[in-house]
Amino acid sequence: MGAPSTDPGFPQFSLLPSEIRLQIWHYCLPRRIVQRDDPFYLVEVREEQKCWSIRPTFQNAAVPLIASVCRESRHVVRKWGKLITQDFRLNIGPIWIQPRLDRYNLNCDIRYIWDDEDYLETMYDHLEEGFYRLDMMPVSLRAEYFYPFALEPEKDTFQKCPILEINGKPINEYSPDDPYDEFATYIERPYAGVSESATLTFICIHATKEQAADSGLFGILLDDPVQLVDFDDNERLEQFYALFQKGCCNDKRPEVSKQFASIFAPGFRPHVESWREKVDWLMMANAWRRANKRFWNSIPIEGDPGLIWNPPLLEDQTHIYMSSIHDVQGHTFDNHYPWVIQAKKELPRVTPKIQFLLCTDDCDVNGNVGTVRDMSLPLNRRSDWFDNLLYAELAELP
């Protein structure tokens, strides 16, 4: 017998039935975290991560690499995705989006608004677009949009207590918007199809293409450079940390090392679970407020709405606190009440995630920004993708 073949190709592929070949091409498509805005809009984020390249961001927005293989692969790529342009000034240019495969991700946090007050209006537009298409795409937001979060537990106990204003919106001075009500504006009940996740922190990992490919963490062809990982998936988080340790000069990225240290600290999981309990409470509290006001698309309440709470609400009560503070009584939900049981079945549960970005460029840890270049953004060229709800309504690419 001859020596076994070392050819990594698959010569039998062309002999397979076309249906199977198309399924294989579909399997090869990246499942991306679509970045609606630039993760490095703030210079301080680049300085923290010591990343000066724009290549990963553009790569994540580009047409999948398998489109260049053959006509059949291009057909599959065009079937599942669309290239969109944008007219916002704080974006990353054209983006390739696969509405049925990808996750819609917003990187902007409160620091964006501190840096540029005009960004607030743009961010509202971003959020509206994301929530408007929750029936097609899962949405990922910064954790602080749901409730303030820091990798290290905060000391201010008052800010750790969620508050609901019965006749208004949640009191949360750090959050410029309310993700608890937006999905109910656009998505009809039940909300089982709504998928929301919260990015706890952003980490840029520098590694060579060979190291990244061997890790298998960023897609088959490394054209899936943004990843969201469950906060408690220690096995996978350790794989990202191992790749970080292999990268050149990563020992000179102390802020990233601190982020990993916080993630692997013994108290991190209970810290996140405590934050998640507050988010769950606010999700229920806002659903109750919508029902109490008899808003459209709310979960109806039979009987006295105040009896859903434990202890029951007073007639003149204006605010509801999750926890008791000084002389203010905290309130929980009566889990035996029919409305509470139904709401827990319908309402989405926010999933905490860690966000990773792969950079295969040799970014200078001493701050040489020579690899960063300006990019011209196409203005006033809004894609029809943002004006059509149904994927079937989109025009084919030329």
Mean pLDDT (whole number) for 19-26: 92
- The answer to whether position 275 is within a domain reads yes
- Burial (CB count <10 Å: 0-12, 13-18, 19+), residue 215: middle
Q: For residue range 289-347, what is the model confidence (pLDDT) as tens digits?
A: 999 988 888 899 999 999 999 999 998 899 999 988 778 889 999 999 999 999 999 99
Q: Of 235, 189, 239, nearest to 214 (Cα)?
A: 239
Separation CA 395–CA 82 (nearest Å): 9
pLDDT recorded at residue 381: 54
Mean pLDDT (whole number) for 132-137: 74
- The answer to whether position 192 is within a domain reads yes
pLDDT recorded at residue 154: 65
pTM of the model: 0.87
Q: Of 263, 302, 282, nearest to 147 (Cα)?
A: 282
- The answer to whether position 11 is within a domain reads no
Mean pLDDT (whole number) for 238-267: 94
Separation CA 305–CA 318 (nearest Å): 14
Helices (H), the chain: 18-28, 43-49, 55-61, 71-80, 110-115, 119-132, 179-186, 209-215, 234-246, 254-263, 268-292, 338-346
Number of domains in the chain: 1
- The answer to whether position 221 is within a domain reads yes
Q: For residue range 103-134, what is the model confidence (pLDDT) as tens digits?
A: 999 888 777 666 666 667 777 777 777 777 77
Are the C-beta atoms of residues 361 and 55 closer than 8 Å to each other?
A: yes
Residues whose CB is less than 8 angstroms from the CB of residue 57 and which lie 6 or more positions away in sequence, other chains included? 35, 38, 39, 40, 92, 357
The share of the chain scoring above pLDDT 70, in percent, equals: 81
> Who wins on pLDDT, 309 or 137?
309
Helices (H), 68-177: 71-80, 110-115, 119-132
Domain that holds residue 127: 31-60+99-373
- The answer to whether position 391 is within a domain reads no
How many of the other CB atoms lie within 10 Å of CB of 250? Answer: 17
- The answer to whether position 19 is within a domain reads no
Which of 14-28, 93-107, 122-136 is least confident?
A: 122-136
Separation CA 392–CA 389 (nearest Å): 9
Mean pLDDT (whole number) for 206-211: 95
Q: Of 72, 382, 49, 64, nearest to 247 (Cα)?
A: 49
- The answer to whether position 73 is within a domain reads no
- The answer to whether position 121 is within a domain reads yes
Six-digit token pair at 110? 């409160």
pLDDT recorded at residue 208: 94
